[in-house]
Structure 1
Amino acid sequence: MQIDEEKTGAKGRYTATVDGHTGEMTYSRSSSQLVIIDHTFVPDELRGKGVGQALARHAVEEARQGGWKIIPLCPFMRAHAMRHPEWQDVIQA
């Protein structure tokens, strides 16, 4: 699944489009070392297809590559962070 990124200043979003429907995860950069994931949206047409998980996994991979931490304010991202102890190196509770 291809995930794209859009950036506007300190804000951005990751998107994944499948069958003409787009899921997204939005974030705000609070510093060069800290990103706040604040929202995840997956339309009904994509539920159960792993889009939300792919977006969360992508955010974690980006944080590892960029050397920053994630504050998971979004309930979806927070729940996934709790289910994935292997992500704790980039999660700031």
Structure 2
Amino acid sequence: MPLAIQHDRKARRFHTEVEGAQCVLEYELASAVMTITHTGVPPEVGGRGIASALVQAALEAARAEGWKVVPACSYAAVWMQRHPPYLDLLG
């Protein structure tokens, strides 16, 4: 089932709801550099690839905007290393 991931530019986060649980990726933006600060998926809906989908959505948005990415969140950093097509976004 595809996730309905929303990008809230004002709040600087990507989010989706799964079975009533809020899942988020938060970031900061300065000088066209997106710093991913937090990825959170509640344990009750974990293990379904939700965090992965959030990171991918954020990186696709960064690519579309021409932003570089700093994965300050450890999950996002590992995800990027495991997905080489996104390494060109590292800032």
TM-score (ref. length: structure 1): 0.89
One-letter code aligned to 1:63: A
Shift of 1:46: 1.3
Is 1:25 the counterpart of 2:25? The answer is: yes
User: Counterparts in 2 of 1:1-93, with a 5 A limit?
Assistant: 1-8=3-10, 12-31=12-31, 33-92=32-91
The runs of at least 4 aligned residues of structure 1 exceeding 3 Å deviation read none
Greater helix percent: which structure? 2
Structure 1 residues 8-49: Cα deviation after superposition (integer angstroms, max 9, x where no partner): 3xx511101111111101000011x21100011100011111
Q: CA RMSD in A?
A: 1.1
CA deviations on 1:43-70 (whole Å, 9 max, x unpaired) are 0011111110000000110011111111
SS at match of 1:77: helix
Q: What is the identity percentage for the equivalent residue pairs of Structure 1 and Structure 2? A: 33
Instruction: Tell me which protein shows more strand as a share of its residues.
Output: 1
Shift of 1:6: 2.0
List runs of 5+ in structure 1 lacking aligned partners: none
CA distance in structure 1 between the aligned counterparts of 2:28 and 2:44, rounded to whole angstroms: 27
CA distance in 2, matches of 1:16, 1:91: 25
Q: For 1:36, what is the secondary structure of its paired residue?
A: strand
The aligned length equals: 89
Q: Which consecutive unaligned segments of at least 5 residues does structure 2 have?
A: none
TM-score normalised by the chain length of structure 2: 0.91
